[in-house]
Chains A and B, each alone.
Chain A
Amino acid sequence: MYAQMVKSTGQAVRTRDDMTVEERAFQDRIDRGEKIEPKDWMPEGYRKNLIRQIGQHAHSEIVGQLPEGNWITRAPTLERKANLLAKVQDEAGHGLYLYCAAETLGVSRDELFDMLHTGKMKYSSIFNYPTLTWADMGAVGWLVDGAAIMNQVPLQRTSYGPYARAMVRICKEESFHQRQGFQVMLTMARGTKDQKRMAQDALNRFWYPALMMFGPSDKESVHSAQSMAWKIKMNTNDELRQKFVDETVPQAEFLGLSVPDEKLTWNEETEHYDYSEPDWSEFFDVISGNGPCNAERLKTRKKAWDDGAWVREAMLAHARKSRARREAAE
């Protein structure tokens, strides 16, 4: 997902007998549905996992602005441009909410940026694909934000208070993102032959990368089991992916577009769609830095950070000077 392969620090879920008194009390609080707040005692593994997960999520929001920012100046109408600008601005906001949540766990904003810029922390694989035509703005809003919503809605109930509250804000804003994307798709799909072809092409290119957003199957992963016991992960990757497929296929049919999967069929027994897995070797390639746009995304991010350095420093210098002046006058 936006936090796709969070390498867990914890081992397998510990049985109650293995837990210390503090750990047991902590797990009890989580089981009772209590929220953990920044100053509360927490196991080191919980804190570290959360920093990785929230950090990766925040980085995804920020880097996620780039593929869409690519089209702001070329949006087909002024209205679409305003819509896209508002959406991209929201993503910046989502990143900021999440960075703040991560900071409550004792990591600084600059450290988080540094880990992004040096590749020590990842962001979602989806943003390493190019956005080639305007129809991609439709596909991204519809599929990428759609997949993100699938993951973020349950995270509103996550055990860490600041993370849960950030998720509530984000979910409130997210549904416009998906709807505007779907509307772009709808307009294209009902437009000229060429426009419909572009819409289909965008779906073809984004379908499997969207399925990869949920991460590889983690049914047997002990790391995921620990995250689920701590309620920092609410569903398995496969559950969410299935839910996404089940909701999205009828939407594609409504658009009159075909999902690029010959094996896709409705299974009467399970009452779910059977679908083809994405190419996981491609996923591992992209997540480890070799996707079509990894280098470009990171370069753009770093350039923005480095070019902004003098502004950050000047504002701080100004603040210090005016404070000194104020204090001298008192």
Chain B
Amino acid sequence: MEQFFYYVKVSWVSIKRAPLPYALTVFILSLGLGVFFANATFYYQMNSDPLPHKSDKLFYPMTLMVPYECNDCLPPRIHSYSNVQKLSASDIPTAKVAMYSSDGYLRLSSSQAPTPVSIRITQPAFFSMFEVPLLHGSVWSDDKARQELILSKQTAEKIFGRSNVVGEKVLLDDRHYTVIGVLDNWQMLPRLYDANNRNHVNDADQVYMPLETGYDYNYMSNSQSHTFDDTDFRQLGTQGRTGALHQLQFWVQLDTQAQQQAYRQFMDNLVADEKKAGRHQSTPNNQLVAMRDIVRFFGGESADIKAFALVTLLFLGVCLFNASHLSLNRYLSNQYEFSLRRALGASRLQLQQQMLADVLLMTLFCTLCGLLIAWGGVELLNYLWPANRLFGRWDPTLLLLLLGLTLSSSYLVTLYPSLRASFGGLNQQLKE
């Protein structure tokens, strides 16, 4: 231990001997690391798996059941109400949920100014399938229409000034509802259940309404909807339930390989039967996509972020190269001391230990400086791409990755120069 502190002290003394070149080395390396890390933050968060234990068990089925002939077509990303009913008519999935999103205005009484809110119109299985934490109250007991809402914690606090508001009355678009549940803080990142229209980068919804109520009151989807026949979208409660108006997202939970196999077969049979019944003419094209693959399937990966990741990686390479160069100069100007230590009996191993102390100090400075630059970078990216703002956050894993990267970069920057210095001709240096 005493020896270790001595090595650190020696490093420190040699830094003090020429602080400017050292500071420049640290700065260049930190710049590369910081810029890379800022971008890597977004890349990492966007590609992270919010439900790793479940993302291969939740599936998004799609079928090509539209009322006109379309061969070589991809199935629509959203479903009609009647198709969801057909896809739900099976006991194979452990759970299933249909949903969509809309907007509304929320207030306590008609004398208050209304607050615009985003609404997820869904079924009780949503909360268990996507592991939504509940703070107060409960979710709906079945899929039927009812004048009951579930609020996010922030929404409850905003409207009522507190979170436990179970049993309270609210006005949503001037209809009366009772609050039966309040969610705990919850933000799935990315929101993979809402990936079909690139909404997976958005904030969580604020108000939750039963699906049937949403259809009864004619709430249209605010993200993606498509009519394949002459269904009147103002008649959602009637025509919307029978016609080819597609706007629903549909998820099934298939825990085992056998369930997945069976459900695929079920979809195939369903589509074949429907074709036989003359309700569509297309060549079947069924898709069953796991949640962990859904963003890629929908082509929702951010090309900017990907391109940037590459550019910043190259930039890091350039910085590493430059920092190595500076570091080499520093070591060569200190080579005399290396040689002296060798002449006095230090082995190469002992010099390498000395070098490790250099690496540690360099890592320390670069981590601090790099984090600062990365923080600035994240702020800048948030400003330039506010849509991705939710992903500019650090978690312990990410910080640990940064530390590892800084350590290996510092090692790289120190390794070659110090090897050069410790293998250099000994007598050469000592002559001067």
Chains A and B come from one and the same complex: no
**CB within 8 Å of B: which residues of A?**
none
- Contacts from B to A (Cβ < 8 Å): none
